[in-house]
Structure 1
Amino acid sequence: MLMLTSPAFAANPVAKKVSAERTYKKSPADAAIGKKCLTCHNKEDDPGIYGEWKRSTHAVKNVDCYDCHKAKEGDKAAFKHEGAFIHVVVTPKTCANCHEAEVAQQQRSHHAKAGNILASIDNLLGEVIGGPAAVTVGCVQCHGSTVEVDANGRPTPQTWPNTGIGRINPDGSLGSCSSCHARHNFSAAQARTPDTCGKCHLGPDHPQLEIYNESKHGILYRANIKEMNLNSKKWVVGDDYTAAPTCATCHMSATREQKVTHDVGERISWTLRPAISTKLNMVRLSNGDEFDQPEGKPLPAVGDDVKGAKVTQILTWKQRRDKMKNVCVTCHSANTVAGHYKQFDDLVDLYNDKYAKPIAAVMKELEDKGYLTREPMDAKIKWTWFEIWHHEGRRARHGAAMMGPDYAWWHGIYEVSQHTYFKWIPELKEVVRKKDGNEDFANALLDKHFKPISGHDWFFNGMGKDAIEKVRKGYEDRYGKGALK
């Protein structure tokens, strides 16, 4: 193979930092086609594409248009263009030609599986209640479309453009590296910023960006962004920067003890997404895939046959948490980290035990006894329960995880409480009254599932003198005797 130098090599200001031995090697024929690409996609005709590529590490390392868009005749998404077969949809499989380890991590990750939303209640709401056009410009722009190609090998306008993190590609690979490393610069620094993650991780049901911005971490990042050294090649927290963490710092980036990973779930010990949170063990397989096994369910052993492959590694939820703690202790004491996790766990347990588990149990009994159908979203009470766990409950849990107090309380547990007591419970009674003509079964369900939980005492018995006096004392200690009327 002959090493050829990119025409942008000398013009790129960082070219001198890269040795010739580290540039991309290619055949003379491929180099000629790549050079031909640049004669059309140049700074005059495509200044955005060309300009971003020219500033990129790809240009420095002699990677041009054809190296990424090259296809073979007969490939599902291939078509002939200016004498060469190319594809429009550059996939992780393409990127793996140079970034094999990163793609292997990404392909097994939660990100790659984001397209599974296509079989969930979320997508049902979009497709049926909203409409397919809303899904196209909304849901799948983050989760990823199933990219379809026409008879000419070009992606269809209904499914393209799309850079969803779990995009289902024509070559069978999952995801889009350009979700985080935007074309055609593919900057690592850009992918390290919280705003990149905020394209998808924001809004009423998963406002991680808003929570981050509210947290001390986000405040410190914005105040000290010039000290973040985002362009560092290795970007190790504690060595290259200490001012603040970003999303990438905690979930992906290197520490002094850990290598960088593109498996974004590796350091997550709770799942905060479903109606009821569980701690998660991770099972990795010989076929390169992995899956989460909830705490309490039997774990296979390394070497066991599971899902058509052999188990190669088990990461318990405690080991996953230790990986995250290893990031935290770069800047915090072990006691501080332990205290954070205690507060976080307590909030998740509160949400689970006081609200999610009893509501879920009542909803199941309503279905089992024929008060509700088993069809999704066909009764008002189902919408209310959906929003309690999918919106308010998620916000509360993520607020606790990322130290965003406003989201943990006012946008979280406060609204979970308000909607449980003053929307869901009245709707429960209405559902029962509609079938029975009375509320007896509803009251029996509340007595069975809610009354034994001490946190609901105030709802059944009032605040009580002791509780009110405790609040009064605390208020008067701060603001003076008689301050609370």
Structure 2
Amino acid sequence: MKIYLLLSILLMVCIIPVAAAEETGGDGPCLSCHGKDTPLIVQAWSESAHAKNDIACKDCHSGEYDIGHMTGQDRAVVEASVCARCHADVAKRHFSGKHGIGFSAGRACTRTMDRTPELLAGCNDCHEKGSTLVRQEVECARFLAQSPEMQRQGCLSCHKVETRCDVCHSSHSTDLAIVRDPAVCATCHMGPDHPQYEMWMTSRHGILFNLKGRSLAPDCMTCHMPEGDHNVSTGITMGLAGQEYPEAVREEQRGKMLTACSPCHTKSFSLRNLEDADAVQRQAKAIVDEAASIIRGLEKDGLIKPSPAERPAHPLSGKKLEIGSQMLYENLSGVEAVFFRMKKFYYVITYKGVFHQNPDYAHWYGNAPLKLALSEIKSEAALLREVKSLKERVDNLSVFGRTGTDSDKQSQADTLRTNLGHLRELYLRGDLSEDDYTKRKNDLLDRHGL
């Protein structure tokens, strides 16, 4: 009997640590499978600060997904709100910056608004119920126009930065050397729409950084995350597409950027370069606005083909022309396609090239193609109007016959019809201004008592 009692006690001593390990996620079911199936995940976690501080799998992934997880369903997503339980100050700074509206760029962000009952009642418009996780159906037209696969791979992989810390940080490692490498920023901040990484990398700053490191030259964090501040809006004085901030905000953020520049540059030198960038942005925006005005004029005159009414409905604007922030790149006319590249690529590159101290990007990748695109739009608009005029002249001649063939045998109505056609031909040919055409047409109608 004593032997059985002793064996029972020994068995309990052996079982309790295993149960405890399973409860915390230590060497329990997580590691028993992932140690074999995904060993590098286990290695990254075991070498992390989380492991050293007894932060186990279930502490972040929760313990409520075991059954579904074992049957092949999706893993429990670790949102930024989970990280915020331990990293509250960092999370607060993250949510107050541009990364904190990564999903919400397509509609107004409400974080700075008073928390009224009406506002809180609308949280589920963007967020999953009871969660900070933003729904995929966020109102961004370019997102909504894509396939689910492209939404996941081409949109959310970057824009989930609002709710996912592992967009920048690695999922299981806490090695800060990884996230402090500027190449991490390049994953999203590169390419034709905003090549900040390429601009910085090939600027004097980037070259010196790669040769001498952060001690002699700035990288992304130096200017936009000083001392590890997770509000990446630090020092930025305008919106995502150059929208003006209130003057007080501009002055505050400009002061922060001047502080970032001060270890290497005098205030006057830095200020002059930043103000040059401000001026270039305004100049570039004026070019975009001129092009937009031309396109609206073409649409008003029925010269956009396919017209908004003839193409698939816009996800948000329906059958209306959309050339603003929600402009698509699908089903456009030729002139709209030029405008999309102009406003989405060349305009942004022009002024951000100056802000990132890269003259070639500012000039030859931005300013030059921006102005060439305006010339192309103007030329295309003139051609479309000329074709329309020629078509109207042909139609006019087909209805009224050859002009200048008045005859005494024609009835009064035929004479009037011929004279009106002749006047319109002169107008369409450019021999009469619109005012002269209107005056002479009215005079002719008056003589006939009409």
Task: Say yes or no: TM over 0.5.
Answer: yes
- Pair 1:120-2:132 in alignment: no
Question: How far apart are 1:199 and its partner, in Å?
Answer: 0.3
Return the letter of the residue paired with 1:251.
H
Give the number of the structure with larger relative contact order, counting CA–CA contacts within 8 Å between residues 6 or more apart.
Answer: 2
1:16 matched residue in structure 2: none
2:367 matched residue in structure 1: 413
- Pair 1:65-2:57 in alignment: yes
Structure 2: which 5+ runs fail to align? 1-18, 107-137, 309-319, 323-330, 393-426, 431-450
- Pair 1:199-2:145 in alignment: no
Using the alignment, how far apart are the partners of 2:371 and 2:151 within structure 1? 31
Deviation track 1:389-439 (CA, whole Å, cap 9, x = no partner) reads 111111112111101111101111011112211x21122123333444489
Please tell me whether the aligned partners of residues 278 and 351 of structure 2 are also in contact (alpha carbons under 8 angstroms): no
Return the letter of the residue paired with 2:161.
I
1:432 matched residue in structure 2: 385
- Pair 1:244-2:226 in alignment: no
Using the alignment, how far apart are the partners of 2:166 and 2:283 within structure 1? 39
Return the letter of the residue paired with 1:120.
C
- 5 Å matches for 1:160-309? 164-166=160-162, 175-225=163-213, 228=214, 242-254=215-227, 260-271=228-239, 273-274=240-241, 277-281=242-246
- Pair 1:364-2:296 in alignment: yes
The structure carrying a bigger helix percent of its residues is 2
- Pair 1:375-2:321 in alignment: yes
Instruction: Give the paired residue count.
Output: 322
Change (3 A) 1:390 1:81: closer
- SS of the residue 2:103 aligns to: helix
The structure carrying a bigger strand percent of its residues is 1
Please tell me whether the aligned partners of residues 41 and 50 of structure 1 are also in contact (alpha carbons under 8 angstroms): no
Structure 1: which 5+ runs fail to align? 1-26, 144-163, 167-174, 229-241, 255-259, 282-294, 296-314, 444-485
Using the alignment, how far apart are the partners of 1:387 and 1:378 within structure 2? 12
Question: How far apart are 1:193 and its partner, in Å?
Answer: 1.5
Change (3 A) 1:132 1:32: closer
- SS of the residue 1:244 aligns to: coil
Query: Radius of gyration: which is bigger?
Result: 2
Query: Which of these residues, 250, 253, 259, is aligned with residue 320 of structure 1?
Result: 253
Question: How far apart are 1:324 and its partner, in Å?
Answer: 1.8
Query: Which of these residues, 103, 107, 126, is aligned with residue 91 of structure 2?
Result: 103
Question: How far apart are 1:342 and its partner, in Å?
Answer: 2.3
Please tell me whether the aligned partners of residues 178 and 186 of structure 1 are also in contact (alpha carbons under 8 angstroms): no
Query: Which of these residues, 34, 37, 49, is aligned with residue 26 of structure 2?
Result: 34
Question: How far apart are 1:39 and its partner, in Å?
Answer: 4.1
1:395 matched residue in structure 2: 349
Query: Which of these residues, 350, 371, 379, is aligned with residue 283 of structure 2?
Result: 350
Question: How far apart are 1:180 and its partner, in Å?
Answer: 0.6
Change (3 A) 1:41 1:247: farther
Using the alignment, how far apart are the partners of 1:398 and 1:79 within structure 2? 49
Moved more, 31-40 or 397-406: 31-40
Please tell me whether the aligned partners of residues 143 and 155 of structure 2 are also in contact (alpha carbons under 8 angstroms): yes
Deviation track 1:289-315 (CA, whole Å, cap 9, x = no partner) reads xxxxxx6xxxxxxxxxxxxxxxxxxx6
The share of aligned pairs that are identical, in percent, is 26
Return the letter of the residue paired with 2:285.
N
- SS of the residue 2:102 aligns to: helix
- Pair 1:341-2:264 in alignment: no
Return the letter of the residue paired with 1:111.
H
Question: How far apart are 1:195 and its partner, in Å?
Answer: 0.3
1:54 matched residue in structure 2: 46
Q: TM-score, normalised by structure 1?
A: 0.60
Change (3 A) 1:339 1:91: same
Return the letter of the residue paired with 1:244.
A
- Pair 1:133-2:86 in alignment: no
Deviation track 1:165-200 (CA, whole Å, cap 9, x = no partner) reads 24xxxxxxxx21001111211332221221000001
Please tell me whether the aligned partners of residues 37 and 66 of structure 1 are also in contact (alpha carbons under 8 angstroms): no
